[in-house]
A and B are shown apart, each in its own frame.
Chain A
Amino acid sequence: MSEWEPKIVAFLCNWCSYGGADLAGVSRLQYPANIRIIRVPCTGRVNPKFILAALRHGVDGVWVSGCHPGDCHYIEGNYYARRKFGLLKGLLEHMGIEPGRIHFSWISSAEATKFAETARAVVEKVKAIGPARHFIKRQAEVA
């Protein structure tokens, strides 16, 4: 268990959170290397299928981060995303995915420190649960 390092996929919106991650890097802020970033134009673009695909691939955690409500580069993308994600997280956890695997945040392109802190928090939470146990598609389990 002490050997295991979680793999966490982070969907970051290009205009805010990705910028924040970039600023964190440029500012030499330390955050865990467990985060694998996928840049998307907007959190509104994040299709629930992406999160499912990530879980099926065996990632230990998924993190989606975008602009603060009201600051979306596309005006309203993150408002729709907020509704989608609330329901998605609810159903995933209802189905038995451990709470603490799926995370959402609003981080602006200036909030480098917040990015690093949130990254650390996400990794801590996922580490506490352990490696992904469910919903992983490897070889088809056929009779």
Chain B
Amino acid sequence: MMSDRFVSKDGLKDGIRRLMERRAVIGPVFRGQYHEFAQLAQVDELDLTFQNSRLSPKGLFHPHSDRMFTYSLAKNDPEAGILKEAPQDYSPRVAVGIRPCDARAFQLDDANFETETIKDPWWVRRREATTLVGLGCNQPCATCFCTTVGTGPFDTAGLDVLLVDLGDGYLARPVTEKGRKLLDEAGFAAAAPAEASSRAGELRKAAEQSLGKLFSTEAIAGQNTLELFNAAFWDEVQFSCINCGTCTFLCPTCWCFDIQDEVSGEKGDRLRLWDSCMFPLFTHHGSGHNPRSQKLQRVRQRFMHKLKYYQDKYHLGAACVGCGRCVSHCPVNIDIRQVAQLMSASCIC
């Protein structure tokens, strides 16, 4: 039951079509200049030949702009001023084509949104409603470094199903019970021949071997926090940063948000929107004091959080999955791989 299945390329389309009859299916769609994860209107929109989406799929669970509550401000309304939860759609849905790095990132994000004591209901309900069908990376990009940070091109952590493109079809590996149920529902019942499973294994090995180990996250975890914080190399690292939100917004493990109220006439919304520790006002206090008013402080904070503090706090490894989006799109080419190498160096000078 939990063994590998095989589905032809056309078979996959048919299965997805079947799924689309009952629920929303989201997958990589080419729009404009790049791929984005969008709800499929027709199965032919799905493009699984993509490398990865420009923006990470974290928007599935943590959209850029989210209406949390609404309220009335009408004078004679007895319920004026009372926050009411804004209706959301939590109906079951499927996301296809999720890369293992992004799936692992969702698990890292869970550490923030779903703890023993605090559960962010918007995040949690969206996670529960979504079945994640991953796609292994037969050919990782030049900017990928997932294996360096504890995941890999065929890693199943965080996925419900893993698909592997074998050329003539897909190997469909159920990872969780939720995933198995989905494969059954889609009609992907045919067991994969042993040869298909071993071919997938070879693709996995080749993909992993194409990625080198660029730095050691353990070494960073082992560094003295204060020495790392006060290291001299931050001055050079921070110089080019322009404090935009590109890295933050493209990153699958960045979750910081701002909450704002917007009023229109006699109605108001409480909105959650993405924020970035790169923005100068991120740590601006109501008193007017800003503990990270200097660019160096903010740039240092980003890398310390992702590569050091997160490790110390959650013991889940670094808050980076090596997807390479920040490396490819930082307008000034600040390279997290390079910064991590500086941070993991045995001599911090």
Contacts and interface: CB of A to CB of B under 8 A. Distances in A.
A143 B262 contact: no
Nearest to B67: A142
A137 to B, nearest CB: 7
A94 interface: no
B65 A139 contact: no
Contact of A142 (B63, B264, B265): B63
Contacts of A26: none
A137 B65 CA distance: 15
B53 to A, nearest CB: 16
A143 B264 contact: no
A137 B267 CA distance: 13
Contacts, number: 20
A140 B263 CA distance: 9
A138 B65 contact: no
Interface residues of A, number: 6
Interface string A126-143: 000000000001111011
A142 B66 contact: yes
Interface in A90-143: 137-140, 142-143
A143 B89 CA distance: 10
A139 B269 contact: yes
A137 B264 contact: yes
B192 interface: no
Contacts of A137: 264
Nearest to B263: A139
B130 to A, nearest CB: 15
A24 B271 CA distance: 46
B267 A143 contact: no
A59 B61 CA distance: 37
A113 to B, nearest CB: 37
A143 B269 contact: no
A140 B271 contact: yes
B267 A142 contact: no
Nearest to A143: B63
A139 B264 contact: yes
Nearest to B89: A143
Interface in B43-69: 63, 65-67
Contacts of A138: 264-265
Contacts of B265: 138
Contact of A139 (B63, B66, B267): B267
Contacts of B264: 137-139
Contacts of A143: 63, 65-66
Interface of A: 137-140, 142-143
Interface of B: 63, 65-67, 262, 264-265, 267, 269, 271
8 contacts: A138-B264, A139-B262, A139-B264, A139-B267, A140-B67, A140-B269, A142-B271, A143-B63
Given A137-B264, A142-B65, A142-B67, 6 more contacts: A139-B262, A139-B264, A140-B262, A140-B269, A140-B271, A143-B65
